[in-house]
Amino acid sequence: MTGVRTRAAVLRRPDTEYEIVELEVLDPGSGEVLVEMAYAGLCHSDEHLRHSNPGGRYPIVGGHEGSGVVLAVGPGVSSVAPGDHVVTSFLPACGHCRFCAQGRSNLCDKGATIARGELPTGTYPFRLDGEPLGGFCMVGAFAQHTLLSEFSCVRIDPWIALDTAALVACSVPTGWGSAVYSGGVRPGDTVVVVGLGGVGMNAVQGAVHAGAMHVVGVDPVAMKREFAESLGATRTVAGTDEAAGLARELSRGTGADVVIVTVGTMSAEAYAGAAASLGKGGTLVLTALADRPEDGNVQLGGQLATVFEQRIQGSLFGSCNPFRDIPMLLRLHEEGRLELDRLITRRYSLDHLNQGYRDQAAGETVRGLLEHSGS
């Protein structure tokens, strides 16, 4: 191959909208995989990218939650072959570094360059007017074709629908794992999920799967509260003030065992509101991000955390292992144990990507889905 020409959504600089351009995708080198993307989820992390990219660079191709078909592989690639269906992992997992060896592949050392989109081989996968470009999280799922590291390609069974499969690239494992792994939800627990977007809905599903007795969903949007109830939330409220009182009532005075923060934009106010629901011995899971790191700074009530033995737990990718948990979550869906299809609220072509993010900001979608075939 001599380089593929493709269409993609690019951010040229912060605080601008995605621009649809034609660019070149490099041929796969050692350890690299060329993928024709089929679908990409409209994740809020790509909205954060639109405002800030700490440690990264612009221009950059957006998108990190996707599915597609392998077109070609470079030398040494053994885990996938042309024709394979794959889900992208926005965190590469090499399987050999210190963190992978400890079973914490969501912290794999190969993820050091995800902000600028440089592959572990040192390659920038795209060229725009001769300028090297990265793909967000080493993926660039908003391109119709992209070049990935083998460590970012999770092969899936060919009969699995690629549209729903795209969601297990980020939002489903991030939310589900925030409850099951990061939060350690156990049977009988009282759980509060603050923010019912694409990640929060799956935190609800994870808490239900883990056996929580009470799952309280918190979101100001009525449509999202109703949807969360259809996924198993036992109660839903519009704000954290109401959630705090409800958590104490449902737990018979102790407060929530696990509180999971999955709001679209992390802030000190969001943290304080969520922390008000946390009870003795409880775990507060921080999954949300801010547009800029400094905007996500929070104030910990150290005295209360000490005397109540509360734990603050950060959660990246829901503490999941992509090569273990993506196939497992898809199997749960096949067995009717995990909802994926109804999570997709609206579908968009590449040319209507910006409208998709406007709909997200207006609270009209649980998950928007980019369809490359319709672009």
The chain-wide mean pLDDT, for the chain, equals: 95
What token pair was written down for 355? 């409208």
> Given this model, what pLDDT does residue 226 score?
98
CA distances from residue 93 to 41, 58, 96, 140, 321 in whole angstroms, order as listed: 21, 25, 8, 17, 8
CATH number of 4-169+339-374: 3.90.180.10
Q: How confident is the model at residue 117 (pLDDT cuts 50, 70, 90)?
A: very high
Is pLDDT at 1 greater than 70 in this prediction?
A: no
Other residues' Cβ atoms within 10 Å of the Cβ of residue 153: 26
What token pair was written down for 212? 């929580």
**Cα separation, 339 vs 46, whole angstroms:** 23
- Answer yes or no: are the C-beta atoms of 113 and 123 closer than 8 Å: no
> Given this model, what pLDDT does residue 20 score?
97
**Short-list 191, 199, 193, 211, CA closest to 279:** 191
Pick the CATH number of 175-316 from 3.60.21.10, 3.40.50.80, 3.20.20.80, 3.40.50.720: 3.40.50.720
Q: Strand 126-128 vs strand 131-135: parallel, antiparallel, or unpaired? A: antiparallel
**Short-list 322, 305, 353, CA closest to 20:** 353
> Given this model, what pLDDT does residue 292 score?
84
In this prediction, residues 301-325 reach a mean pLDDT of: 92
Helix (H, G, I), strand (E, B) or coil at 55: coil
Q: What is the pTM of this model?
A: 0.95
Domain positions in the chain are 4-169+339-374, 175-316
**Cα separation, 109 vs 148, whole angstroms:** 16
Other residues' Cβ atoms within 10 Å of the Cβ of residue 195: 28
Q: How confident is the model at residue 2 (pLDDT cuts 50, 70, 90)?
A: low
Peptide bond into 59 cis (omega under 30): yes
Contacts of 207 (CB under 8 A, 6+ apart): 179, 180, 183, 185, 189, 191, 193, 215, 232, 258, 260
Better pLDDT: 197 or 1: 197
Say what angle helices 240-250 and 268-275 make with each other, to 10 degrees.
20
**Short-list 240, 285, 243, 278, CA closest to 260:** 285
- The vertex-71 CA angle with 66 and 77, nearest 5°, equals 90
> Given this model, what pLDDT does residue 375 score?
53
> Given this model, what pLDDT does residue 124 score?
96
**Cα separation, 267 vs 340, whole angstroms:** 29
Handedness of CA 126, 128, 129, 132 (dihedral sign): negative
**Short-list 343, 48, 319, CA closest to 167:** 343
Residue range 77-111, pLDDT digits in tens: 999 999 999 999 999 999 999 999 999 999 999 99
> Given this model, what pLDDT does residue 298 score?
84
